[in-house]
Homo-oligomer: A and B are copies of this chain.
Amino acid sequence: MPNILVTNDDGITAGGIAALVEVAREFGTVTVVAPDSPQSAQGHAITISKPLMVKKSKNFEGISAYECDGTPADCVKMAKHILFKNDKIDFCLSGINHGSNASINIIYSGTMSAAMEASIEGIPSIGFSLQDFSADADFTTSKTIVRQILSDVISGGDPPPSLLNVNIPNLPLKEIKGIKVCRQGNGRWKEDFQKGTDPRGQEYYWLAGEFHVDDDPSANTDLNALQDGYVSIVPSMHDLTDFPMIDKLSHLNSESV
């Protein structure tokens, strides 16, 4: 039985992690190490200026579970270096996030930062997200999808991919059209800030805004797959090099300054 680390960014009491643990335990020995409070939009933040505390959690019956007062990436570091020590983590699963992490949201996402942190450590990882931000999101469909993907990735026999970003449309199972392996869509937040005045008369700005899709509707992207009722799987990586630009910028190379 493989060792499976499960984490998330919505915190250890979220419905999404309970759903993920429920399916993951069918595939291996699950250990949960998750933030003790919600950590959405934390990106790949890690905690360096203060110590971290970790304690046993009773949130999951029959499973080793720990809550940590750090970020999702901190949880993975703690799991690997403190809790697992010399035991191997075979897979890391993060989520199921309450809300989409398609397109550039992979960059802001705590869910995906945890998965990416594990992938940097050589642990094959998958982040799962459901397109429903609500705290009481229904993960019934998601559990079926997660089971289908884990059957292939964990039990399928092929070498597992290093990092997958899986997003699930918020639809009943029978309305889901299928699964598409695709690229990260082009989109961005058209920000708006809610402007207000605090009780002490100071102006404040609260981040708001809506997501804007920049892709052609026929492109094989996660945004289009979700729009069409498909589950999207984007194979992802932590090498951010724009390789074609290395040659284009060769005039910047110099042997003196």
**Which of chain A's residues 34-50 have a Cβ closer than 8 Å to chain B?**
38, 40-50
Q: A179-B253, A184-B241, A252-B152 are in contact. Are A235 and B231 (CB under 8 A)?
A: no
With a CB–CB cut-off of 8 A, which chain B residues contact A163?
Answer: 242
Q: A48-B40, A257-B144 are in contact. Are A236 and B246 (CB under 8 A)?
A: no
With a CB–CB cut-off of 8 A, which chain B residues contact A44?
Answer: 43-44, 107-108
A25 beta carbon closer than 8 Å to chain B: no
With a CB–CB cut-off of 8 A, which chain B residues contact A74?
Answer: 207
Give the interface SS of chain A, mostly helix, strand, loop or mixed.
mixed
A108 to B120, CA, bound (A): 12
Chain B binder among A12-20, A51-59, A88-96: A51-59
Query: Count of A residues near B, CB < 8 Å?
Result: 89
Q: Mark A78-120, 1 if CB is under 8 A from B, else 0.
A: 1011100000000000000000000010111000010010001
With a CB–CB cut-off of 8 A, which chain B residues contact A182?
Answer: 246
A41's partner among B45, B149, B193, B251 (CB-CB below 8 A) is: B45
Q: List 8 A-B contacts (CB under 8 A).
A: A41-B47, A77-B193, A107-B240, A161-B245, A162-B242, A178-B253, A183-B243, A240-B240
A198 beta carbon closer than 8 Å to chain B: yes
Interface centre among A237, A248, A251, A252 (most CB of B within 10 A): A252
A55 to B240, CA, bound (A): 34
A139 to B226, CA, bound (A): 48
Nearest 8 interchain pairs by C-beta: A43-B44, A235-B245, A51-B204, A43-B43, A51-B206, A237-B242, A178-B255, A235-B242
